[in-house]
Amino acid sequence: MSAYLPHADRFAARHIGPSKDDVQSMVEKLGLHSLDELINNTIPSSIFDNRPLDVPEARPEHVVLADLRTIGRRNKIFRSYIGMGYHDTITPRAILRAVLENPSWYTQYTPYQAEISQGRLEALLNFQTAIIDLTGMEIANASLLDEGTAAAEAMMMFFRLTHKRTKFLVSSDCHPQTISVVQGRAAPLGVEVVVSNHMSFEFTPDVFGALVQYPGSDGVIHDYNELCNLAHGTGAFVAVAADLLSLALLRAPGRFGADAVIGNSQRFGVPLGYGGPHAAFFSTRSAFRRQVPGRMIGVTVDMDGKPALRMALQMREQHIKRARATSNICTAQVLLAVMAGAYAVFHGPNGLRNIALCVHMWTRALANGLLRNNYQLRHHEFFDTICIENPPADLRTRAESQAINLRYLGDGTVCISLNETTTSKDVDDLLNLFGANTSSAAELVAQIPASYDGILPRRTPYLTHPIFNQYRSETELMRYLHRLASRDLSLTTSMIPLGSCTMKLNAAVQLAPVSWANFSGLHPFAPVDQAAGYHEIFRDLEKWLGELTGFSAVSLQPNAGASGEYAGLLVIRAYLASKEESHRNVCLVPDSAHGTNPASAVMAGMKVVVVKTLSNGDIDFDDLKSKTVRYSNDLAALMITYPTTYGVFEEQIRDICELVHKHGGQVYLDGANMNAQVGLCKPGHFGADVCHLNLHKTFAIPHGGGGPGVGPICAAEHLAPFLPGHPLIKTGGAQAIDPVASAPYGSASVLLISWAYIALLGPNGLRRCSEIAILNANYLAHRLSGYYELLFRGRHGYVAHEFILDVRSFKRTAGIEAVDIAKRLMDYGYHAPTMSWPVSGTMMIEPTESESKAELDRFCEAMIAIRTEIMEIEKGRQDKERNILRQAPHTMALVCADDYDLPYTRAQAAFPVPWTRHNKFWPTVRRIDEAYGDRNLVCSCPPIEEYVT
């Protein structure tokens, strides 16, 4: 019997769009009697398994919140002076409310449709500009997953730029977690990482680059000028892992010759969150612009020649280059980059300098107090971190009894990193811990000049652009952030029908705990016993995800789907090595796979062999057969997406897995489409060996405009020993591979969202979500198939949770392409479906279970109205060029212009259907000129006059 009364708040009913009656009428529209009938006709009987899931019964919202509060109290929030790239910070409340807790920001998707994403693009351009300014480099990207992987990306970039060199220096002064991540990345590529003292290192001709930390992990400030000269003299490159706040006082790495500067922007107002999510930054020279991993925002113009923003250059990197892609990064950390950029806008150059100065002055006060008491410091040139070589023997016990965490190095040395939140009381407490008999912190700090007078002082200005100098008051900042949000179409406006992206509800209740202090305030390297609450969440989530996928072990470490793919393949690689089968290095990848799949395989040191797809979307079994035979001796893995990227449940999935196993390979299942499977079938039971999940799709973590993400991997028992480890906190199995992320549990704080999602829905609700996701897709497919050609269907004529419309024929009949439909949808208040993927010239639609029947019908109305508009062109009633689709989208400025001269009315342009009159979303720029942006790459804020003109 249920522990909750029937009238208690049931989350499933609010998460799932269609009501019971709607479901019945939709099922009948499909010519069926029941939802069960649809599901039986959709999921192949050979894998169908709807036995009750072994997850706890659904809990009402208030119970889940109360449970989370109890769990949260099991975390102990100490004052953290551990540092190592993670620092306590003050999140301005205005930014917390306006961005992190605002669905207008967190429910956006990656800005593929620039015309309805100008706000987020501007926020990211601010982030890039702040990074470029502070690091002193020429270009920056719009974030990477974390500092460790950003360092690895810099290494890979240098590796590509220098041919035939294989050695890479990593200074022993780098953070240990960064060193491990870089080592893990290097091994499959055949790169030899030399961890050594950079000062005595010799740049031989086989060295292609170096990584140094600035300031060093123990806080010392080195001048890397000579190192850069030495490296450059031999044709090698230097990456600097920098502390962003220190750059407000210290010489910019670009000034002493860095070729790339990377790091974590967390201390720009983003909570610690037990390790993430945080946005890493990556800046470099303009000459390397085509090698930069991830997305870069660029300035361009629209079709009217007005300034506009868009994602520049490599946005289709993996889709076009596939096995030749230079990086697998797809989802990054956009929401957190927006926050860090907003922090820079909020504080401006003076505010930032003051924050950095305060941190430094407290550190100096602490150092002086300790020096006066005969403590020895390892170094005297520091920004915010000092290292004490002769601490009292009982320091740790006393510190922990006062709820203070310090960093204890193995050699008995102790490091202390201060931060923006540090007060005179904190410094007094630290001095007391050392038994220092000295003046108070306030007196000590009064004896210090209020300026930075250490080595390498910064002389160059930063954040000079007006954007960083005009929003000092909270009122102004609030309006600015609101203005930006209002330029972006998010789930707060309408359904975002992006296929393969699962833009479902990100419920407020699930997001609430992320910013509770008991979860947001934990340092990732705090002793594990202080994180008992978090570990309870991890244990539950690992167990639940294992149950839903049919696997026995789970790693929560990967920070995105692609990172999960890479981790899963490395696990396979390690398993094969343990069987002395390291020669197996062929990875079979269907040509319909997501572009990150081949890119991840190459990064994992595998050779990609493409398997053909049949015209119905299934894998070409004959081709697979012949390739498994041909590569039988070398077969490492098959990567397969299920249901396929074409939106169908492949009937032969069991046979496919069996075939690969027969030839000694492992099956990697891309679980981005798990939303069609939860509670209905389990990859671990139908033959896969390992799969990743996109928690930012199926399990309700919001996309945040392009991140955060979480891509846990779920693995069968034989692979469990190899799950990713970590150098500082034990994770993974007995033969763990190197970490794939800087933090042991990746983006720990957003795991709370998925935990709450599962706890709120319970076994029945979870299964119901999959069923309704399938129903919604089939309902839309059915309604639209009278107007558009539906490309693929399963054996019984039904689609999975998404489907593809083929619009290629309109090119011939009306000169209309998929992109024209995408832009016209904006005038109707909709985001376009996924464009030209996995089949060029098509549109892939995924409604998810969260959309109501009314919203599905409204979307159909828009699509059908557009089909009528296409018909007008086909019949010659509309011009082939100056028609309503080719001219879309229509901005307010255009339809209100005195000299409006388009051959259709203003109302037809802007208010094509009745609902747009009372709920109108205005694109703020007209169609983007991509070619102009590619020819004139600008990826920092342009002079303000350009906007005015």
Ligand X SMILES: Cc1ncc(COP(=O)(O)O)c(C=O)c1O
The pair of structure tokens assigned to 490 is 């998010």
209 vs 155: CA distance, rounded Å: 7
Binding mask 316-335 for ligand X (x = CB under 6 A): --------------xx----
Site size toward ligand X, by CB under 6 A: 16
677 near ligand X, rule: CB under 6 A:
no
The binder of ligand X chosen from 241, 576, 672, 862 (CB under 6 A): 672
Burial of 633 (0-12, 13-18, 19+ CB in 10 A): exposed
Q: How far is CA 7 from CA 2, 3, 11, 624, in A?
A: 12, 12, 12, 53
CB nearer to ligand X: pick between 643 and 912: 643
CB nearer to ligand X: pick between 330 and 433: 330
Question: Residue for token digits 């207008």?
Answer: 104
534 vs 536: CA distance, rounded Å: 5
Residues whose CB is less than 8 angstroms from the CB of residue 146 and which lie 6 or more positions away in sequence, other chains included: 264, 276, 278, 280, 333, 559, 741, 742, 743
Continuous segment of H or E residues that includes residue 388: strand 385-388
56 vs 365: CA distance, rounded Å: 53
CB nearer to ligand X: pick between 330 and 359: 330
763 vs 52: CA distance, rounded Å: 6
The binder of ligand X chosen from 17, 521, 711, 833 (CB under 6 A): 711
Site for ligand X in 589-628 (CB under 6 A): 594, 596
Helices 61-73, 532-549: inter-axial angle, 10-degree rounding? 130
Binding mask 466-505 for ligand X (x = CB under 6 A): ----------------------------------xx----
| Residues β-bridged to residue 169 | 194, 210
- Tell whether omega for the bond before 277 is within 30 degrees of 0, i.e. cis: yes
Q: How far is CA 557 from CA 212, 604, 868, in A?
A: 25, 17, 49
CB nearer to ligand X: pick between 560 and 723: 560
Tell me, what amino acid is at 517?
A: A
CB nearer to ligand X: pick between 329 and 576: 329
CB nearer to ligand X: pick between 694 and 776: 694
706 near ligand X, rule: CB under 6 A:
no
709 near ligand X, rule: CB under 6 A:
yes
645 vs 839: CA distance, rounded Å: 10
- Which span sits near ligand X by CB under 6 A: 85-93, 390-398, 554-562, 767-775? 554-562
- Which span sits near ligand X by CB under 6 A: 86-94, 557-565, 626-634, 803-811? 557-565
CB nearer to ligand X: pick between 367 and 672: 672
Smallest distance from ligand X to CB 110, Å: 8
Smallest distance from ligand X to CB 86, Å: 23
Smallest distance from ligand X to CB 592, Å: 10
| Residues β-bridged to residue 790 | 805
Smallest distance from ligand X to CB 502, Å: 9
CB nearer to ligand X: pick between 331 and 417: 331
Site for ligand X in 730-769 (CB under 6 A): none
361 vs 368: CA distance, rounded Å: 10
694 near ligand X, rule: CB under 6 A:
yes
CB nearer to ligand X: pick between 243 and 802: 802
693 near ligand X, rule: CB under 6 A:
no
Burial of 453 (0-12, 13-18, 19+ CB in 10 A): exposed
Total number of residues shown for the chain = 949
562 near ligand X, rule: CB under 6 A:
yes
Smallest distance from ligand X to CB 593, Å: 7
CB nearer to ligand X: pick between 521 and 617: 617
Question: Residue for token digits 């846990």?
Answer: 712
CB nearer to ligand X: pick between 431 and 619: 619
Smallest distance from ligand X to CB 564, Å: 8
CB nearer to ligand X: pick between 82 and 560: 560
679 vs 719: CA distance, rounded Å: 24
CB nearer to ligand X: pick between 560 and 648: 560
Smallest distance from ligand X to CB 328, Å: 7
Smallest distance from ligand X to CB 701, Å: 10
Smallest distance from ligand X to CB 667, Å: 15
- Which span sits near ligand X by CB under 6 A: 60-68, 364-372, 503-511, 555-563? 555-563
3-state secondary structure 141-196: CCCECCHHHHHHHHHHHHHHHCCCCCEEEEECCCCHHHHHHHHHHHHHHCCEEEEE
The binder of ligand X chosen from 293, 533, 561, 687 (CB under 6 A): 561
CB nearer to ligand X: pick between 670 and 851: 670
Tell me, what amino acid is at 557?
A: Q
- Give yes or no for a contact between 821 and 807, defined as CB atoms under 8 angstroms apart: yes
Smallest distance from ligand X to CB 749, Å: 17
670 near ligand X, rule: CB under 6 A:
yes
Binding mask 508-547 for ligand X (x = CB under 6 A): ----------------------------------------
284 near ligand X, rule: CB under 6 A:
no
Smallest distance from ligand X to CB 91, Å: 25
The binder of ligand X chosen from 174, 212, 441, 560 (CB under 6 A): 560
CB nearer to ligand X: pick between 333 and 500: 500
DSSP 323: G
- Which span sits near ligand X by CB under 6 A: 484-492, 556-564, 655-663, 776-784? 556-564
| Residues β-bridged to residue 301 | 307, 929
- Which span sits near ligand X by CB under 6 A: 258-266, 558-566, 716-724, 924-932? 558-566
CB nearer to ligand X: pick between 431 and 501: 501
Q: 899-906: long-range contacts at Cβ-Cβ below 8 A with a sequence spacing of 24 or more?
A: 903/878, 903/879, 904/878
Smallest distance from ligand X to CB 574, Å: 21
CB nearer to ligand X: pick between 317 and 670: 670
For every residue of 793-851, DSSP letters joined together read --TTS---S-EEEE-THHHHHHS--HHHHHHHHHHTT----EES-SSTTEEEE---TTS
Smallest distance from ligand X to CB 330, Å: 3
The pair of structure tokens assigned to 363 is 């550190």
641 near ligand X, rule: CB under 6 A:
yes
823 vs 807: CA distance, rounded Å: 14
For every residue of 63-125, DSSP letters joined together read HHHHHHHHHHHTB---EE---TT-------HHHIIIIIT-HHHHT---S-SGGGBHHHHHHHH
Smallest distance from ligand X to CB 642, Å: 10
The two beta strands, 280-284 and 260-264, are antiparallel
466 vs 874: CA distance, rounded Å: 49
Which residue is nearest to ligand X, using beta carbons?
561
- Which span sits near ligand X by CB under 6 A: 112-120, 559-567, 739-747, 895-903? 559-567
- Give yes or no for a contact between 611 and 619, defined as CB atoms under 8 angstroms apart: yes
Site for ligand X in 71-130 (CB under 6 A): none
Smallest distance from ligand X to CB 800, Å: 12
Smallest distance from ligand X to CB 325, Å: 12
Binding stretches for ligand X (CB under 6 A): 330-331, 500-501, 560-562, 594, 596, 641, 645, 670, 672, 694, 709, 711
